[in-house]
Chains A and B, each alone.
Chain A
């Protein structure tokens, strides 16, 4: 990740980071953050606050939107002493995680922090998420039942 990434590429990377960070287990993120060592000072622009958002869905992906239900969300915003602003939105009641996500988002504006965060926080979280996903798939696959009377549409 060079310092001269295009705005579109920077946005894609930011989306990827925020997605991974907000889905990470709160405790694990805290541990990885501490291992990062010394980090810049910051002030809370919006201290972590818990609220509700309405989740919308679409039936079969093409139908009209409907309100699926409300979910709890924690959000926070921080500003580094250098003026960089970061925001964090996390599902559930996770004040500390929202603050950490916002902090990491703010650091992503600093070129010299991108690589360390990618290598030491984001990459391990991606790997762990992938492991969890495979375990869940394996567990689900073990319960697969073949109904011989029903023809499968595709696959075996």
Chain B
């Protein structure tokens, strides 16, 4: 317990401020939102993912961590600052932090292994945070859906083509399905389940 990163300096106001930024990202899918004055990163998490967890995760929301991020330091950090239980199975989690990469044993589980909610309660689904190397510079994709005027072009880097096949399947589950957040540095960008991605 000796190297816990400090959390939000002013938990009430800072989390409100950060929540507003996350809301902005979800209302404008594909728009890169730079978090205002985010807390220091709990390595190996990015600053944006750290801020997201401190803002939205609490003792009622089990958190699943990708094997690469499931370190004692991150577990201690989330336990101390948020009180969130660490989920052992993706199916038990309401929030998750993932790293893009090979799926399968020890790798990133497919996004459909997380709760997608039910038709009467689509809100009982998971929100997944993907740690990416960068939110720009990757292959261009065009997003359309609520919150986007016509088309929004997004160039996420570090995602495999197979990921977008998974996303199309997730989109077909509407109103069920998971919501995604992509984080890099202090920036984040949201991909709610209502958005269609042209491949």
Interface size class of B (residues with CB under 8 A): 10 to 19
Interface residues of A (CB under 8 A from B): 43-47, 49, 77, 79, 83-85
Interface residues of B (CB under 8 A from A): 1-4, 6-7, 9-11, 80-81
For the residues of B in contact with A, the DSSP-based class is loop
Check A45 against B6 for contact (C-beta < 8 Å): yes
CB distance from B146 to the nearest CB of A (A): 38
Contacts between the two chains (Cβ within 8 Å), count: 23
Cα of A102 to Cα of B116 in the assembled complex, Å: 42
Q: Which of A47, A77, A84 contacts B9 (CB 8 A)?
A: A47
Q: Which of B1, B2, B3, B6 contacts A44 (CB 8 A)?
A: B6
Cα of A43 to Cα of B8 in the assembled complex, Å: 12
Q: Which of A43, A47, A84 contacts B2 (CB 8 A)?
A: A84
CB distance from A18 to the nearest CB of B (A): 15
CB distance from B41 to the nearest CB of A (A): 15
Which chain B residues lie closer than 8 Å to A43 at the CB level? 6
Check A46 against B7 for contact (C-beta < 8 Å): yes
Check B2 against A85 for contact (C-beta < 8 Å): yes
Q: List 23 A-B contacts (CB under 8 A).
A: A43-B6, A44-B6, A44-B9, A45-B4, A45-B6, A45-B7, A45-B80, A46-B7, A46-B80, A46-B81, A47-B9, A47-B10, A47-B11, A49-B11, A77-B80, A79-B4, A79-B6, A83-B2, A83-B3, A84-B2, A85-B1, A85-B2, A85-B4
